[in-house]
Amino acid sequence: MLESVVPPKLPISEMARTPQVMRLAKMTYDERSPRFLRHLQELDHPSKSNWTTAERICSEMTATEKDYVSDITALVERFLDPFAAFADKYCKTTEELPAFTALRCAAHVILGVHKELVKLMEPPQQRRFFTFTNTTSSGSGPLEAVTRVTKAFASTIEYMKVYAIYCANYLLATEELKAHAKLLDAFTLAQADPDNNETFDAVSDLIKPVQRICRYSLLFRSLVKNATCPEEVELAEEALESVQRVSDLVNARVRDAENNVRLVSINDSIDNTKLSSKLELLRPGRKLLCEMPAAVQVIDRRTRLARVLHLHSARFDQKRSFQQHRDTSSVNSEMELLGANSENEREESALRDSLTSNGHERNKDRQRVILLSDALLMARRSNFHLRVRRHICLSCATVIEAQETDGDVDDPEAG
């Protein structure tokens, strides 16, 4: 009679409770088992230390893409959608929070695109049956990894243009959330879970899509640099070109959005409401190109009239004595031209002062010059407000001047 395999001093009931048996009882050994799949992967790749740099970059891109999808999923499911539903109870979200609504819709599209991207970037599912004979014939290697990643981006890169919508509304959406701080605080209190101590700063996480689209160019440049064969270089360069094109489009939209926010801030900071309504800085198609401090030389009305008179007299004298050589470059000859006009002594003295001043600092004023796509604005900053001195329309050559002491706007002067 065969002896029992169970030790006589250990009852079966007690043996079943040992940690080793409990751990083995929870394991599954089928084709979908993570332990079985990891085993096959280790057979295909005996050691990750043998990977090339290109394979490591592709692996990093795949791993970080999974983390990014998890972050966007949490952002959509824990903040964007719940906050939109919460805000609908107290206001019309599409009207009072238009930028947030556009950002939320773009986030949904971004989430779907990157879920598909992760599926395409992941290595193919391991074979159900594995033998050592087909290990050498497998398609694993740097070229296979680069091909898989670049094809995944080639299939989804055009859909990533939705980032332009997200990034264009990011700054405006954050401003809307700041303007509705009470509504945001009420939503935060309503969503608070006393049993969960995990912190989730949703407003700060809104920047993650903006950061992610800029990271792809860096990764593909590194992939081109560390390619091991011409085929890998060609695939990586094609992917880099397509990614860079979309990234440039997104960056342009971001700059336009920042300039639009700044233009709104400039319009709100003008101290004269009547002048602000007349200038109409917020027009469709108008863009803020640049702004800078500048030293503007202030010329009063008398000086301008004197200079006009001087130019008129000089042209008349040149026509009358065309054959006679004159040295019009010296200041003394200009003074003689003015001396012939006894009826304009005040204009003469003003012009003499203007010509001999040579642009001293006493005639200059520090102002803020703001260049728009179709206008030029000169203003002075006073107590966090802009005091507009002059507005020049570049398309119709119309000048609107505002005196510093007057509260109203002067009539337009054609220039």
248-264 pLDDT, tens digit each: 888 888 888 788 888 88
The residue to which tokens 């042209």 are assigned:
315
Task: Tell me the pTM.
Answer: 0.61
In contact, 305 and 346? CB cutoff 8 Å: no
Higher pLDDT, 215 or 342: 215
81-98 pLDDT, tens digit each: 999 999 998 888 888 899
- Going from the N-terminus, what domains does the chain have, and what CATH number goes with each? 7-44 (no CATH), 45-127+139-269 (1.20.900.10)
Q: How many residues does the chain have?
A: 415
Grouping H, G, I as helix, E, B as strand and the rest as coil, residue 108 is: helix
- Strands across the sheet containing 288-297: 288-297, 364-372, 375-382, 385-393, 398-401, 413-414
Percent of the chain with pLDDT over 90: 20
pLDDT band for position 360 (cuts 50, 70, 90): very low
Round to whole Å and give the CA distance between 124 and 126: 6
Least confident of 13-27, 43-57, 282-296: 13-27
The answer for residues whose C-beta is within 8 angstroms of residue 252's C-beta and 6 or more apart is none
Round to whole Å and give the CA distance between 199 and 201: 6
Write out the E strands in 272-374: 288-297, 364-372
Round to whole Å and give the CA distance between 260 and 282: 9
Residue 65, both tokens: 């893409």
Mean pLDDT of the chain: 73
183-220 pLDDT, tens digit each: 988 988 887 776 665 656 777 888 889 888 888 888 89
In contact, 56 and 49? CB cutoff 8 Å: no
Name the DSSP letter for residue 76: I
What pLDDT sits at residue 397?
60
294-328 pLDDT, tens digit each: 776 655 555 556 555 665 666 666 656 655 555 54
147-187 pLDDT, tens digit each: 999 999 999 999 999 999 998 898 889 989 998 989 988 98
What pLDDT sits at residue 406?
45
